[in-house]
Chain A
Amino acid sequence: MTRTDPDTAVRVAGLTKRFGTFTAIDDVSFTVERNKIYGLLGRNGAGKTTLMQLLTGQQFATSGTLEVFGASPVENARVLQSLCFIKESQKYPDSFRPEHVLASAPWFFANWDAAFAARLVDDFRLPLNRPIKKLSRGQLSAVGVIVGLASRAPLTFFDEPYLGLDAVARQIFYDRLLEDYAEHPRTVILSTHLIDEVSNLLEHVLVIDEGRILMDQDAEQLRGSASTVVGKKTDVDAFVAGRDIISRDGIGGLASVTVSGLSEAERTAARAAGLELSPVSLQQLIVQRTTSTTGSPTTHDAVTATDAWSTHS
């Protein structure tokens, strides 16, 4: 194992986790750079939570290596002190109230900021002395979000942190995360289904599908990396021939094909050929990439979509 690399928070190589015959994480390698906000994205059951459990020492790897701040997290007090893992359904002792959670947080998190926590309690209108058992789903999520933010852990995981949080509360979470991250840079790994909502917050995107890393890319490179070309089927087919086709859809004589990497000159050429170009959001891109690999395309053009994928893979 190497000594602590100042730029790397997480280094994973050939990581595999099997539960019986099921391979949850399948020979995965990637690194997480320090002080960036990562999105860990993927469909249900893709392996996101298992991966975060491995990174936080709550699961043992079947094979492969895994370093967090230069060492294995398993039973490693130095590493575990630097981590905060906010789970979708955190369990608390039965008698606990939110005030107990906040009072005990400084025991676990060296950087805990009680004043920031108090401000977040106000923001989320969290009743501090109501038993945890009596909190609404959204209020319970707010407890986790407050702990995750105010702990200022060098590596913070948010695993679907906002079940039951309304739109206003989610916006508060994003705003406070950005503000506080700007003042206190740290590594954040945000796992969520709400890709559109968080996409602008992310600096780097990891997409996991069926236990494998499907994308490991700078978020800005991903944005604008694909365009949808719409027009008469014959024109579209002529234009996209030989290109990297991500997905294809169509109705009647109209075709809509998403391709990657168009240069400015190619865009001009497409417009001159009477084709319409539309941008592809991060969410659309990820949906298209992750549905393409399942082998059951849902487009009207099922056959061509599969063909398109086979040229890609």
Chain B
Amino acid sequence: MSGPHHPLIESRQSLIEAGKPIFMQIAEQIENDIIDGAIEEESPVPSTNEFAAFHRINPATAGKGVNRLVDDGILYKRRGIGMFVATGARQRLVGARTEQFRTNFVGPLLDEAAKLGITPEQVADMIKNPTATERKANNS
């Protein structure tokens, strides 16, 4: 028996979290690999069956995640060879994620700041210089 005792086996299952559609998680992981350069543009991504075997998930589910990126134009299919990252995919993903960053992080941050009477300028100060602005915010 070879595979089953490999330490990776314990860790890889935790890459998939419960309670969230797996195909979305697969799509996000591929996106992350493209954004941080782990998979370069015009290079191949693993096959659906490889994703399924690695993450121990149903191949149809893995295929759904890959197809979602094909629909978004992030990946494209080369007949008989496999899936490849499209040119310009990284820039488009960074653009989309920046929008998400604004709604998911900056929005709630400013909402909470407003609740506490912290102005956006003070928030910006805090971000630039965390230790100094802490005192300033307490004084105001």
State the CA gap A123–B4 with chains docked (Å).
Answer: 10
Query: For chain B, what secondary structure do more than half of its interface residues adopt (helix, strand, loop), or is it mixed?
Result: helix
A83 smallest CB distance to B (angstroms): 22
Does A175 contact B22, Cβ atoms closer than 8 Å?
no
Residue of B nearest to A222 (CB): B21
**Most chain-B CB neighbours within 10 Å: which of A37, A183, A200, A268?**
A200
Q: Which of A168, A179, A223 contacts B19 (CB 8 A)?
A: A223
Does B22 contact A220, Cβ atoms closer than 8 Å?
yes
Does A281 contact B19, Cβ atoms closer than 8 Å?
yes
A-contact bits for B77-114, CB 8 A (1 contact / 0 none)? 00000000000000000000000000000001001000
Within 8 A of B (CB), among A17-74: 36-37
Interface bracket on A: 35 or more
Residue of B nearest to A182 (CB): B49
Does B19 contact A279, Cβ atoms closer than 8 Å?
yes
Interface size on B, residues (CB 8 A): 28
Interface: B136 (CB within 8 A): no
Residues of A within 8 A of B18 (CB): 196, 199, 223, 279-282, 284
Complex A-B, nearest 5 residue pairs according to Cβ-Cβ distance, in ascending order: A279-B19, A281-B18, A182-B49, A200-B57, A203-B58
State the CA gap A219–B111 with chains docked (Å).
Answer: 36
Within 8 A of B (CB), among A272-298: 272, 278-282, 284
Interface: A239 (CB within 8 A): no
Query: For chain A, what secondary structure do more than half of its interface residues adopt (helix, strand, loop), or is it mixed?
Result: helix
B contact residues vs A (CB 8 Å cutoff): 1, 3-5, 9, 16-24, 48-49, 52-53, 55-61, 64, 108, 111
Does B21 contact A171, Cβ atoms closer than 8 Å?
no
Residues of A within 8 A of B48 (CB): 182
Interface: A243 (CB within 8 A): no
State the CA gap A227–B9 with chains docked (Å).
Answer: 28
Does A182 contact B61, Cβ atoms closer than 8 Å?
no
State the CA gap A175–B41 with chains docked (Å).
Answer: 31
Within 8 A of B (CB), among A170-220: 171-172, 174-175, 178-179, 181-183, 196, 199-203, 219-220
**A168-B4, A175-B53, A279-B20 given as contacts; is B9 within 8 A of A201 (CB)?**
no
**Most chain-A CB neighbours within 10 Å: which of B48, B56, B108?**
B56
Interface: A122 (CB within 8 A): yes
**A223-B21, A224-B21 given as contacts; is B56 within 8 A of A123 (CB)?**
no
Does B59 contact A175, Cβ atoms closer than 8 Å?
no
